[in-house]
Structure formats: structure tokens, C-alpha cells
Amino acid sequence: MSSNFSESKARDAALEAHEKLHDGRRQFFKTLGVGATAASGLGSALYSSPALAYGGPYAAAFGLDPARTFMNIGTTGSTPIGVLKSLAANNALIARDPTASFNTGDMRNLIATGFGADPFEIVMSFNTTDGMSKIFSGIVLNPGDEVITTNMEHPGGNSPLAIIADRRGLTIRRVNLPTGDSYSDAEVLARFQALLTNNTKAIMFSSPPFLTGVRLPEKLLCQWAASQGLISIIDGAHGPGMLNLNFHDIGCDFYAGAGHKWQCGPGQTGILYVRNNFSPAAPATYTKVVTINGQSVTLTLPGYTNTNPLPAFYPTVSGGYSQTPGTTLQGGVRNPTHNVAATLMSIGNPSYPALRALQECCQMWDTWGRQNIENYIVALAQYLRSRLAATWGPQSMATMYDANTPNHARVALTSFNPFSAGFDYNAVLTAAQATAQATASGAAVTTLRNTHAVVVRNNTVPHTLRGSPASNAAAGTNSSPLRISTHLFHNTADVDNLVAKLLLTVPSPARGRS
């Protein structure tokens, strides 16, 4: 692979990423209403090299072990210390008074606007897998219907889809997602369009996919789906807490995300969005009066980019659906005045403290500013990518490194492959090479953790083939890149530390290939 990406260019990009981080950090503290002194107190290690991990602007809010740098938020996050205290206090309260309950309607009313959604549409679910299961078992699909998805879905989305495909006799068609320099948003859309038939009823994709961490063009895909009358379903496991999401603007019918990953809620918490209206059309906004703690509050919400009628959807796990058949959703016909979120959250006795903890995490993010958070962590990920590009080249990542932060790079997961020939993410591998690479990659994860106190993970990825950018590696010849998560508690010193440890651990131009 030819590369005109010089080291000096990479340094410029790294400097630019530094500046963006500075701006992002200033914006954080402006939002908080604190001055430069307080800011430097909180994040004074931003440009120094601390002996211990975590110099990010909100590191002090988290109780991560300072003896190691945790960079696998993509698997699960770390609940802020303040929220943990409240979780413990609320558990004690329930233990003391077992029938005490918290108002989950208030919770939804408090957090929905942070996601650009109506409170009737935000379900505090158990996790992404639970959300995806509720979506696939609730929509109406019949034998012969087809669902277009991708070759990079997680079992948390693939399994619920397979269950319903087996049960209903559906056909699943899979887009091969492009990687490296074959990637473009237009190419992704074209590959979905190529699989459309008269039987297609729905599309499902994860953004970002857990294998590559590349953000897909969610709105573009959902707008296309809506134009074809298709149901759009996003596995957004990594969205809440990482991205400033606006579900009404994205235009999806359903979105299942985790509460316990980037949003840093307790285990077994999730955010599930179920579109429940189609009016007003964006860019208009509308207001809704809700009650929070007994007080009337007026919420201002964005209008809908998806103005299609609501697809039929049945809550499949609920003790809140009317016990008299025919009263809630006769024939699957949905009504925007039906609080589908309340029906979906009514499942026996919940863990009120866990739900409250998720609510508090969401409110922390709202206070800090979800756009500020996204800007900061995306800039930090770009800084990491610029450092990786400087040594291993821009072709070593899931998409070519681009200092201009295109939409697909607005994400805080980085998939990086130093194990293939030419440090090329899309290098062709034989089955034997793929096996050797999986072993080398697994060993690198272990060494980084046990010897260098840095926690990342690896994946098995069906990357695009260099010789044939429209096809992907055959099963058995997948590559095994590393996946790195950068979040609020990290700073550039944490990234520099990771890169230094990678240089001691994985193949590089200086150390040679494995």
C-alpha cells in the first residue's frame, strides 16, 4: 500500500489534535462554570507524563485502579464514585424498607431530552442485548421477509435476529462492510441498496460496529430505509455516553444501547429507544409538559426526520400491557399517546437503585455537556490515531487515518492492526497467517495487561481484501487487530503511555514484524 503520509504530517495532526483537546477541555469547564485555576486543578496532568494512569478532565470522578490504564470501555465502563455512593445508599434504603419504590416516569422525564427523544420513547432497559431482543421479538415479520444487516454484528444483535429468523422463516442478507481505504459512507449505503429486494422489511446495523469501531452514517442509512418503507434498527451499544445522540434527528425506528459501557451506569443497564411518533417534521421543535418530582416541567424536543407511520411493535416482556386483549395495541396499530416506554419498563419488581444510578449518570453527562464530551473523546481518539499513523502508517487502522475528522472518525474506539504485512489493516492473510496473527494479537493483549498495565482488547475482523475492495476476507482468514477505547478519564499522557507500551509489545518498523 502506498502512503504519502509523512511523519511530519502526522506530527502536525497530533499537534492539531492537542489543540482541539485544549479547546474541548476549556469548553468543559466553561459549561461547569469554573475558572482556569479549578480547571488546571482537575486536569493538571493533561500535558505531563504522570507515573500513574488517568489525567483526563473528569478522572477524579471515577474510581479506576490508578495502577493500570483501563482502555476497554467498549466492553464495559466504570461507574462514577458519586453514583456508586448513591447506589449503595439506595440499596440500603430498599433493604430497610423493601416496598419502597422510585418513580421511573420521573427518571424517563429527566433523561429523555439528553438523547433527543420523547420520554415515552426512552426505555431504561437491561443492556444492549436485552434491547435488541425486545426489538426483534416485538416487530412484525412474516415468512419470506428479508432483513438486511452487516457482516460485523455482535452476538447481542445477531442472536435476537437469528431467533426471530428461525421462528418466522426470515431471510437475512449481509452487507460486507468496507474497511481501510475502501471505506466511505457512500460505499456503505450503496452496499445496503444493492441487497434491497421486494421482500426487504427491515435493516439492522451497529454503529459503531464492535469489530472496527468505525461510525456508520446512521442518519443516511435510516433516511434511505424510511424512503423504502423499511424499519430501521440500530445496535448502538457504544452510542450512549460516547456520542451526543439525537434519536429524532437520526430518524431510526429503534436503537438499543448500553447504559453500562460509555454511559458508565451499573451492570445490566441500557437505553432502548422506540420511535413513538412522526410529527412534527424536523426541523420544527415541539414542547411537552411532564411531571418531575410533582412539579410541571416543559420539555422542548426536536421534530422527527422520520415521518413514516409507526411500524407495528408489540412489547413482548411486560406486566404493564393491558390485561384485557384488544385494549392497548389492537392489530399492532400504535398510538403516540401510548407510553410504550412505561409498558416496556413494567417488568415485575425492578432494581430501583440501578435505574436511579443510570439516571444519575445520564444527568452527569447532560450537565457536563454531551457535545463537549463527544468532542473531547473524539479529539483524544484522533490524537491516538495520529500517533499510531506516525509510526505504523495511516493504513494500519480500520479506516485510513484522516486528520480532518470525517464523520466515521467521530467515535472513541480505535481498531489498529500492527500484525499484518506492511502494517496494512486490509492485508490478505492465509489461514495459517490468520491463526498466527490471532495468537500474536492475544499474546499482545496479555503482555500489555500483565507487563505494562494497559488494558485493551482484540477482535477477529473480516476486513476488506486489498485485491478486491468489494469482498472481505474468507472465514478462517480474518485478521486480529487490537481495539482501544479512550474516554473522559484519559488524556494525551495516557495515550502517549499506551503508544510507548505498544512499541515495546507489538511489531513496528523499528522492532520488525512478528
Q: What is the rounded CA–CA span in Å between residue 200 and residue 414? A: 32
**Shortest distance, position 124 Cβ to ligand PLP, whole Å:** 13
Question: Is residue 237 close enough to count as binding ligand PLP by CB under 6 A?
Answer: yes
Complex with ligand PLP: residue 156 or 418, whichever CB lies closer: 156
Q: How far, in Å, are 19, 80, 111, 509 from residue 91 at the CA level?
A: 43, 16, 21, 53
Provide the mask over 358-387, with x wherever binding to ligand PLP is found by CB under 6 A and - wherever it is not: ------------------------------
Q: Which of 18, 12, 10, 7 is nearest to 491 (CA)?
A: 18
297 beta partners: 290
- Residue 4 buriedness (CB in 10 A; 0-12 / 13-18 / 19+): exposed
What 3 state SS string does 341-362 have? HHHHHCCCCCCHHHHHHHHHHH
Which stretch, 1-9, 20-28, 133-141, 154-162, contacts ligand PLP (CB under 6 A)? 154-162
Is-contact 202 141, C-beta < 8 A? Answer: yes
Size of the site for ligand PLP (CB under 6 A): 13
Question: How many angstroms separate the CA atoms of 94 and 106, rounded?
Answer: 18
Is 154 one of the binding residues for ligand PLP (CB under 6 A)? yes
Q: Smallest distance, Å, CB 161 to ligand PLP?
A: 12
How far apart, in whole angstroms, are the C-alpha atoms of residue 415 and residue 396?
A: 9
Supply 57's cell numbers. Answer: 478532565
Selected from 69, 128, 277, 437, the binder of ligand PLP by CB under 6 A is: 128
Sole window of 125-133, 136-144, 190-198, 374-382 interacting with ligand PLP (rule: CB under 6 A): 125-133
CB of 259 to ligand PLP, least distance (A): 8
Q: Which is nearer to ligand PLP, 192 or 205 (CB)?
A: 205
| Closer by beta carbon to ligand PLP, 165 or else 301 | 165
Q: Which is nearer to ligand PLP, 310 or 455 (CB)?
A: 455
Decide: is 269 part of the binding site for ligand PLP (CB under 6 A).
Answer: no
CA distances to 201, 229, 314 from 169, rounded to whole Å, are: 13, 21, 19
Burial of 127 (0-12, 13-18, 19+ CB in 10 A): buried
Compute CA distances 64 → 40, 54, 61, 68, 377, whole Å: 21, 8, 9, 8, 18
Q: Which of 156, 180, 315, 418 binds ligand PLP (CB under 6 A)?
A: 156
Stretch that binds ligand PLP, among 64-72, 102-110, 114-122, 123-131 (CB under 6 A): 123-131
Residue 480 near residue 473, CB atoms below 8 Å? no
Nearer CB in complex with ligand PLP: 128/480: 128
Query: Which CB, 179 or 308, lies closer to ligand PLP?
Result: 179
Min separation Cβ 419 and ligand PLP, Å: 21
Return the residues of window 60-119 that contact ligand PLP according to CB under 6 A.
75
User: Are 300 and 280 contacting, i.e. CB atoms less than 8 angstroms apart?
Assistant: no
Query: Which residue from 69, 104, 127, 437 is in contact with ligand PLP, where contact means CB under 6 A?
Result: 127
Q: Is the Cβ of residue 72 or residue 505 nearer to ligand PLP in the bound state?
A: 72
Contact of 176 with 191, CB cutoff 8 Å: yes
Q: Is 415 in the site for ligand PLP (CB under 6 A)?
A: no
CA-based torsion, 92, 258, 277, 140: positive or negative: negative
Which residues 169-208 are close enough to bind ligand PLP by CB under 6 A? Answer: 206
Q: Cis peptide before 208, with omega less than 30 degrees from 0?
A: yes
Using CB positions, name the residue nearest to ligand PLP.
156
Residue 174 CB, nearest approach to ligand PLP (Å): 15
Task: Choose one: 122-130, 224-232, 389-397, 431-439; the region binding ligand PLP (CB under 6 A).
Answer: 122-130
Give the footprint of ligand PLP on this chain (CB under 6 A).
Answer: 75, 127-129, 154, 156-157, 206, 210, 235, 237, 258, 270
